[in-house]
Amino acid sequence: MSTPETPSAPSCSQLFWVFTRIALTSFGGGLSGWLLREFVQNRKWMTQEEFLNGLSISQALPGVNVKNMAVWIGYRLLGWRGAIIGFVGIIVPPAIVIVLLEAVFSSLSGYPLTHVALTGAAAAAVGLSLSMGITAARAVPRNAIPMIIMAGTFVAVAILHWPLFWVVLVAGFVSVAYAYVKGRVDE
């Protein structure tokens, strides 16, 4: 490993524009790849190791990964101001876009074709959701307990319609406790 270059800190407005641009040009995922390219490779504001630490924490914690990542990066670069900039930059501009998009569709809602088009879009988007589910399921360890937890979560939410909050609280606790104990045995 070569010694990492000392990253230079960005200014508040630089940071805000990078987050905004990434938020507005990203569609349907793949955002962490963008963030890596902008912050580590192009601008060298942080080291790759620091970035990957943030990424794994952002994925492990609840919350939208990219928003977690933006807050993490912002905090590492500019402290609490950076965290606020990360949050606002990644959420507010696309929030405005989505409301404008909705206005366009509702002004067209008199035409039956609008609902047909949205149904087609939703069908393709459900396919996106299923492919993510399959990818996530593949990453689950091939052991009885994690498999039972995955199936149990599915049945509780999809079939039994139990409240997600309590399902995740219980399933998450059992599953993390199991992983922790198993990690200790494996060592």
Partner 1 sequence: MSETPHTSLLLGLLAVFAPLSLVTIGGGQSAIADINRQVVDVHQWMSQSQFVDAFAISRMAPGPGSLLVTLIGWQVAGFWGAIVSTLAIFGPTTFLIYAVAHMWSRNGGARWKRALETGLRPVAAGMILAATYVLLQAIDGGWFARAVAFASTATLLFTKVNPLLLIGAGVAIFVGLHAMSLV
Binding mask 26-65 for partner 1 (x = CB under 8 A): xxxx-----------------------xx-xxxxxxxxxx
Q: Which of 7, 77, 66 is nearest to 40 (CA)?
A: 7
Residues 83 and 77: their CA atoms lie apart, in Å, by 9
Binding mask 76-115 for partner 1 (x = CB under 8 A): x---x--x---x--xx-xxx-xxx-xx--x------xx-x
For partner 1, the binding residues in 115-154 under the rule CB under 8 A are 115-137, 139-141, 146-147, 149-154
Unique residue bearing structure tokens 């990434």: 22
Q: Which of 13, 53, 12, 16 is nearest to 32 (CA)?
A: 53
Query: What are the DSSP calls for 104-147, one per residue?
Result: HHHHTTTSHHHHHHHHHHHHHHHHHHHHHHHHHHHTS-SSHHHH
The single residue among 40, 71, 78, 85 that binds partner 1, judged by CB under 8 A, is 71
Q: How many chain residues touch partner 1 (CB under 8 A)? A: 94
CB of 54 vs partner 1, minimal distance in Å: 8
CB of 33 vs partner 1, minimal distance in Å: 12
